[in-house]
Amino acid sequence: MPDIAVYPGTFDPITNGHLDIIDRASKHVATVIVAVSQNPSKAPLFSLEERVSIVEESVSPIKNVEVDSFEGLLVDYCMRRSARLVVKGLRAVSDFEYEMQMAQMNLRLADVDTLFMVANPSFSFLSSSIVKEVARFGGSIEGLVPAEAARRLKEKLDGEA
Ligand code: COA
């Protein structure tokens, strides 16, 4: 069993699809580090600190999960944490091409391997953006995001109104 696997993402906010991957990955490795990317290119709704704290609250029932944040290249972060394995979820075939490109680049850059886990079909239509859009227009996001993410989304969107 590998010691550490890094599960990276923007998590703006974390969804139940992410949580499902984290939970399942935690059964295969000693420690899963959920690494929240600064990712200014996505202009996130939540600040880095907010995203980290929502993830922390959401993963708290899973014992062998740690939450951290990073800037810059994922492989540099992996090296700093002595991690040689990245976990990514695949929701559909359309995810595959881009994910494979990133995985191959990470392998070439630093010999960091990627373990792909297929998304639970109940969540394969989910993305953080679609959740934000539904919430912004008043639709129900029940069952799609952890309770803390739903609470913080409501707070943030009410504050915008
Ligand atoms: N369930 C639900 N949603 C999921 C999901 C799952 N299992 N897996 C992915 N998603 C969603 C994400 O929420 C995200 O939604 P959004 O676009 O609406 O925000 C979307 O699918 C894309 O996810 P992902 O491909 O994981 O992108 P990301 O933006 O969350 O994270 C990084 C991308 C941070 C992992 C990547 O850009 C990175 O490694 N950056 C560091 C810089 C670097 O090293 N670059 C070179 C790589 S070779």
Torsions phi, psi for 49 (to 5 deg): -60, -40
Q: Look at residue 1 and tell me whether its pLDDT is greater than 80.
A: no
Q: Residue 82 CA to chain centroid, in angstroms?
A: 20
Ligand 1 atom showing the smallest separation from residue 37 Cα: 34
Q: Which pLDDT score is estimated for 40? A: 84
Ligand 1 atom showing the smallest separation from residue 131 Cα: 18
Q: Which pLDDT score is estimated for 39? A: 86
Q: What is the mean pLDDT of residues 113-141?
A: 96
Q: Look at residue 141 and tell me whether its pLDDT is greater than 90.
A: yes
Q: Which pLDDT score is estimated for 161? A: 73
Single out the residue of 13, 7, 15 nearest to residue 120, CA to CA: 15
Give the separation between CA 53 and CA 50, rounded to whole angstroms: 5
Is 42 marked active-site?
yes
Question: Under CATH, what is the fold of the domain 4-160?
Answer: Rossmann fold (3.40.50)
How would residue 52 be classed by pLDDT, with cut points 50, 70 and 90? very high
Per-residue pLDDT tens digits for 17-40: 999 999 999 999 999 999 999 988
* 104 within 8 A of 131, measured Cβ to Cβ: no
Give me the helix-helix angle, 16-25 and 48-59, nearest 10°: 60
**How far from 143 is each of 12, 41, 98, CA to CA, in Å?**
16, 28, 28
Average pLDDT across the chain, whole number: 96
Q: Which pLDDT score is estimated for 107? A: 98
Is 28 marked active-site?
no
Ligand 1 atom showing the smallest separation from residue 119 Cα: 7
pTM, full prediction: 0.97
Q: Look at residue 2 and tell me whether its pLDDT is greater than 80.
A: no
Per the residue annotation, which of 88, 91, 132, 152 is the catalytic one?
Answer: 91
Centre of ligand 1 to C-alpha 106, Å, is 14
Centre of ligand 1 to C-alpha 8, Å, is 7
Per-residue pLDDT tens digits for 88-98: 999 999 999 99
Torsions phi, psi for 5 (to 5 deg): -130, 140
Q: Look at residue 154 and tell me whether its pLDDT is greater than 80.
A: yes
